[in-house]
Amino acid sequence: MQAIMETAFDVIYLSTVIIIGIMMIKKTGDNKKYKLFGLMALILGVGDAFHLIPRSYALFTTGLEANAAALGMGKLITSITMTIFYVLLYLFWRKRYQITERKWLSNLIYGLAIIRIILCFFPQNDWFNYNASISWGIYRNIPFALMGLIILGLFYNEAKKRDDQFFQFMWLAVTLSFAFYVPVVLWAKTATWIGMLMIPKTLAYVWIVFMGFNSFKNRSEEDLIG
């Protein structure tokens, strides 16, 4: 039953964000802002597919532990693509609110992203071991969490200042995604039911994508922002 329900959820999730991403890229014309958001949604879906598809296969066959190598590779790829996702979300913030200064902020985001990706490649992560190090799961997620904290603060301030109805809750969606993700990193190995928090975490990302898609559909109105 878990395999069927989880796989059905994953198929709906991946199909939704990938289709929205492709649609935004193809139909946005010369609007680089929404091409960027569409690329962001596409990377989210494709990146997560590298982890979720092997996971579904494992659930339907010999189990998660027996497919540790495929799952580990998927987690590694997803860790990198999620880092890129937040870099693109930051760049979208700059374009939407026409931020041309604060280059130090860009350097900070890029720096954290590079540190996160480098940490992901350390052998101590032991990606292909089903019982991989929890400590390194924490280490590699510290710069990732800092990126999220900065970006949610940026969206909160600018959306409030400019009365941006389309992205007024972006900060909340990012906050929820991390609030549900952190317990999984810390305790999913000791209490397997905590892994269920990945469902609301995933829904938070779907919410992020739909905010951008709703803004895209109403772009004649939202272009007044700024």
Q: Is 52 helix (H, G, I), strand (E, B) or coil?
A: helix
Specify if 201 maps to a domain. Answer: yes
Specify if 223 maps to a domain. Answer: no
Specify if 222 maps to a domain. Answer: no
Specify if 114 maps to a domain. Answer: yes
- CA–CA dist 130, 179 (Å, integer): 24
- In tens, the pLDDT along 3-52 reads 899 999 999 999 999 999 999 999 888 888 999 999 999 999 999 999 99
The pTM of the full predicted model, rounded to 2 decimals, is 0.93
As for how many domains the chain has, the answer is: 1
Helix, strand, coil fractions of the chain, as percent rounded to 5: 80, 0, 20
Q: Is the pLDDT of residue 136 over 50?
A: yes
Average pLDDT of 63-77?
91
- In tens, the pLDDT along 197-222 reads 999 999 999 999 999 999 998 875 55
Range of the domain at 87: 2-217
In this prediction, residue 225 has a pLDDT band, given cuts at 50, 70 and 90, of low
Specify if 225 maps to a domain. Answer: no
The half-sphere exposure of 216 on its side-chain side, counting CA atoms within 13 A, is 27
Q: Is 161 helix (H, G, I), strand (E, B) or coil?
A: helix
- In tens, the pLDDT along 139-177 reads 999 999 999 999 999 999 999 999 999 999 999 999 999
Q: Which of 51, 80, 83, 76 is nearest to 64 (CA)?
A: 51
Specify if 168 maps to a domain. Answer: yes
Q: What is the CATH number of the domain that holds 197?
A: 1.20.1070.10
